[in-house]
Amino acid sequence: MNIKPLGNRVLIKLAKEEEVTKSGIVLPDTVDKDKKTEGEIISIGEGKLLDSGERAPITLQVGQKVLVKSWGGEEVELDGQQHKIFDADDILAVIE
């Protein structure tokens, strides 16, 4: 199944988060909800619709690694893996 985000949205495949620290401590789901999450851009919408009727293209590219807030976006499961759909303006940074 393919998902094509609409408008100014981006589909991101989330990186697997560590649930156990290096010293072997298991972290519950409630720990550090404001931390940032890494992910990879899988698909990009056509861009924001401007008042003039034209589209402002999204400057991100498929395959880029990005940082997003872990609590943001709409969750989607695709091929058994967690993904989220974010507004392009909600992406915090590109990892180079």
pTM of the model: 0.77
CB-based contacts of 10: which residues, under 8 Å, 6+ apart? 41, 43, 44, 45, 58, 60, 85, 86, 87, 88, 91
For 26-79, how does the pLDDT look when each residue is reduced to its tens digit (9 = 90+)? 666 555 545 668 999 999 999 999 999 999 999 999 999 999 987 889 999 888
pLDDT tens per residue, range 10-35:
999 988 765 666 676 766 655 554 56
CA distances from 27 to 8, 30, 39 (A): 34, 8, 20
What CATH number should be reported for the domain whose range is 1-16+37-96? 2.30.33.40
Report the candidate in 36, 46, 45 with the shortest Cα–Cα distance to residue 14.
Answer: 36
Question: Could you tell me the residue ranges of all domains in the chain?
Answer: 1-16+37-96
